[in-house]
């Protein structure tokens, strides 16, 4: 009874607030940056900020950047140093994980975000030098990644000035200098990088006693000295490490390679010769070849291709170790403009693969040594052209698609057709499949889109059973403007579909054709009506709902047609379909589709309320704040109008949930009114304390 009386008391006040809220503000934090945040509010605000940043990480790039800007603006308005530090840290992590994809899109908001970060970081007090240095350094590196090198260098200089404020934490100080060095290298400033490395090395030797930390820092410093072509300094640092702390075949070989790149072949030879002698002294053949391979992999990038070839000649077996060595030499020859060496190395690579009889298994399910290792090497070092040359020479069917795709992209259709074997038996998972027709279709459609229609017309002439293949060609002819041929193929596909009687195959086939017709601006009413008729052969609504749900994927590109089907079947408001379709839309993160089912999804008032709140929270997670606020009216009214018998268990939980969701939309006034009037319990005061943290 207490809950019922509270509900009655709140109806008028909430109704007035709801009526007055015609425009809902987005900002959550107070505008006055001088406001002091209490300890309790800081915990609340940081927790809420963490939740929002987790949501931002799941947003699309289009929504993500505006959401990040809002968070930075909120931090600036809040004016609390601890809160600002966390916001900046979250922002930099979000940028670091996606800066490359954002760069490709050339999104103009990214520099704006970095500018905001730097503005917020500059006034951080001296007691926060560690955080300030980190933020400025990462911002500078991000500037470099998007091509803003000058401002990146200016920002990194600010970081270098801030680093001197780090006190009494030698480990943090060294880490900051190492990261500064990485920043200077990224911004092509080797002299500044060397200065940071020198200081970091000095501090590591003097002040760090933890064995693990010393080893990690010294190893990083060695690698960074090599990146700025200072092999002598790298050797000096290496002497501070135990021989067990690094692999000489890798580290010392890289130092030798750097000496050669620095045009000091004598010192390079002095380092490399003992390693080569030690490798040749190993009795175990496989271990010896692994050592020799590592020497080639880490020395060939220096450009000393003659010496690298000599090392490979000492490997006596045509196995995957020698193959990776030849791949490296071939690729590095390309980089150093040595076409003769490249051609010879690829020929040796092909000969080794054939001698090992690996061609049929290359890239297949049980090939764990050849393609997998070579692919990793190609991806990390940019050796794909040489790997593709090997695939083409071997006609390695399991990965031949990589080469065919390149040929298609370059409009080399004749060469691509000639390369497709008949049959082309490809190992996929645990089975074997003939992929020749699929690739010949790909080539024909690509040629059609390039204006060469003959092959496509010839390939589709005899098709009498595969509807999806007909549709694929029909849509391709439509894109090319060959309307008559497209219409003919659509008609043929419908004839085949009409001959299918088995459910659900008949429904799925008609759905595929309908979607294809709609996507090409052709009428599809007859097909949609046919789908309705087929589904209605099932008399029970739950079974009809399941059949309609089973074809939802066919209408991903044409959702309005799908919901037209639901309306014709009178399923849109039917509880089984609404519940299944609504939950599916939420699972697929489709807020617009999910919102159609608010009020219908759920088998009782409690489930309906829970579904509505889940849709609200989905909109919030995607940054749709205004939409989320408008959708909250339904659950609020449900609770206001609900009887004690229908909603008592969920109401107590839902008022708090609604209040926090209102806060997240910016409607703090309504949130506090709900909390004050509806939850008379010890939890009420705790909720009110949380909500008041968001007041201006």
pLDDT in tens, 391-423: 999 999 999 999 999 999 999 999 999 999 999
Residue-level pLDDT at 694: 86
Residue-level pLDDT at 20: 41
List the structure tokens of 555. Answer: 């209408």
Please say whether the dihedral angle defined by the alpha carbons of residues 236, 240, 244 and 245, taken in this order, is positive or negative: negative
CA–CA dist 161, 669 (Å, integer): 45
Please say whether the dihedral angle defined by the alpha carbons of residues 624, 629, 630 and 633, taken in this order, is positive or negative: positive
Q: Do residues 234 and 225 lie in contact, with contact meaning Cβ atoms separated by under 8 Å? A: yes
Residue-level pLDDT at 349: 97
Residues of the chain where predicted confidence (pLDDT) is lower than 50: 1-35, 104, 106
Residue-level pLDDT at 77: 86
Q: Do residues 615 and 598 lie in contact, with contact meaning Cβ atoms separated by under 8 Å? A: yes
Residue-level pLDDT at 102: 54
| Helices vs strands, H then E, count in the chain | 38, 2
H or E segment and range at residue 695: none
206: left (phi over 0), alpha (psi -120 to 50) or beta: alpha
CA–CA dist 226, 251 (Å, integer): 10
Q: What residues are paired with 433 via a beta bridge? A: 426
Q: How many residues does the chain have?
A: 696
Residue-level pLDDT at 364: 87
**pTM exceeds 0.85:** no
Residue-level pLDDT at 13: 44
DSSP state of 538: S
Residue-level pLDDT at 357: 93
């Amino acid at each position: 009874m207490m809950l019922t009386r509270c509900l009655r008391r709140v109806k008028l006040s909430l109704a007035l607030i709801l009526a007055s809220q015609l425009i809902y503000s987005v900002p959550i934090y107070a505008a006055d940056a001088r406001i002091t945040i209490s300890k309790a509010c800081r915990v609340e605000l940081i927790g809420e900020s963490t939740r929002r940043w987790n949501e931002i990480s799941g947003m699309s790039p289009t929504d993500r950047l505006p959401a990040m800007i809002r968070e930075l603006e909120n931090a600036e308005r809040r004016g609390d140093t601890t809160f600002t530090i966390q916001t900046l840290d979250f922002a930099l992590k979000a940028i670091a994980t996606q800066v490359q994809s954002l760069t490709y899109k050339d999104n103009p908001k990214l520099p704006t975000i970095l500018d905001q970060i730097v503005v917020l970081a500059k006034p951080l007090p001296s007691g926060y030098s560690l955080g300030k240095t980190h933020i400025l350094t990462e911002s500078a590196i991000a500037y470099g990644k998007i091509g803003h090198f000058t401002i990146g260098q200016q920002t990194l200089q600010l970081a270098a000035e801030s680093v001197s404020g780090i006190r009494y934490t030698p480990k943090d100080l060294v880490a900051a200098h190492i990261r500064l060095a990485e920043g200077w290298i990224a911004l092509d400033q080797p002299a500044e990088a060397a200065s940071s490395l020198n200081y970091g090395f000095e501090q590591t030797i003097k002040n760090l006693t933890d064995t693990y930390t010393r080893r990690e820092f010294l190893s990083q410093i060695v690698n960074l000295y090599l990146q700025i072509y200072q092999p002598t300094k790298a050797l000096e640092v290496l002497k501070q490490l135990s021989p067990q702390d690094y692999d000489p075949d890798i580290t010392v070989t890289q130092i030798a390679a750097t000496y050669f790149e620095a045009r000091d072949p004598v010192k390079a030879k002095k380092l490399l010769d003992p390693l080569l002698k030690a490798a040749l002294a190993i009795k175990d053949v496989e271990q010896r070849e692994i050592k020799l391979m590592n020497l080639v992999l880490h020395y060939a990038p220096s450009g000393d291709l003659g010496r690298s070839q000599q090392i490979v000649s000492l490997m006596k077996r045509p196995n995957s170790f020698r193959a990776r060595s030849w791949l490296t030499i071939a690729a590095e020859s390309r980089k150093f403009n040595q076409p003769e060496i490249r051609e010879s190395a690829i020929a040796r690579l092909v000969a080794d693969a054939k001698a090992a009889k690996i061609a049929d298994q290359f890239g297949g399910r049980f090939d764990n040594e050849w393609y997998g290792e070579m692919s990793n090497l190609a991806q990390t070092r940019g050796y794909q052209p040489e790997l593709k040359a090997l695939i083409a020479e071997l006609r390695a069917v399991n990965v031949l698609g990589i080469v065919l795709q390149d040929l298609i992209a370059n409009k080399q259709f004749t060469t691509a057709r000639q390369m497709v074997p008949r049959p082309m038996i490809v190992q996929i998972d645990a089975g074997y499949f003939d992929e020749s027709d699929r690739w010949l279709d790909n080539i024909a459609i690509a040629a059609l889109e390039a204006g060469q229609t003959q092959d496509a017309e010839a390939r589709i002439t005899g098709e009498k059973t595969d509807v999806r293949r007909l549709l694929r060609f029909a849509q391709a002819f439509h894109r090319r403007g060959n309307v008559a041929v497209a219409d003919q193929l659509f008609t043929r596909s419908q004839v085949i579909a009409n001959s299918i009687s088995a459910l659900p195959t008949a429904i799925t086939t008609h759905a595929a054709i309908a979607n294809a017709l709609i996507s090409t601006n052709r009428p599809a009413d007859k097909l949609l009506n046919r789908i309705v008729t087929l589904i209605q052969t099932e008399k029970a609504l739950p079974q009809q709902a399941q059949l309609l749900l089973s074809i939802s994927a066919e209408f991903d590109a044409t959702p309005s047609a799908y919901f037209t089907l639901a309306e014709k079947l009178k399923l849109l408001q039917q509880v089984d379909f609404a519940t299944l379709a609504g939950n599916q839309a939420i699972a697929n993160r489709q807020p617009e589709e999910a919102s159609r089912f608010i009020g219908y999804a759920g088998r009782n008032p409690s489930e309906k309320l829970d579904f509505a709140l889940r849709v609200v929270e989905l909109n919030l997670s995607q940054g749709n704040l205004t939409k989320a606020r408008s959708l909250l009216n339904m659950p609020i009214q449900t609770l206001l109008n609900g009887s004690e018998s229908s909603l008592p268990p969920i109401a107590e939980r839902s008022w708090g949930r609604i209040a926090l969701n209102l806060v997240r939309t910016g409607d703090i006034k309504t949130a506090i009114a709900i909390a004050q009037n509806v939850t008379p319990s010890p939890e009420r005061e705790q909720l009110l304390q949380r909500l008041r943290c968001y007041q201006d």
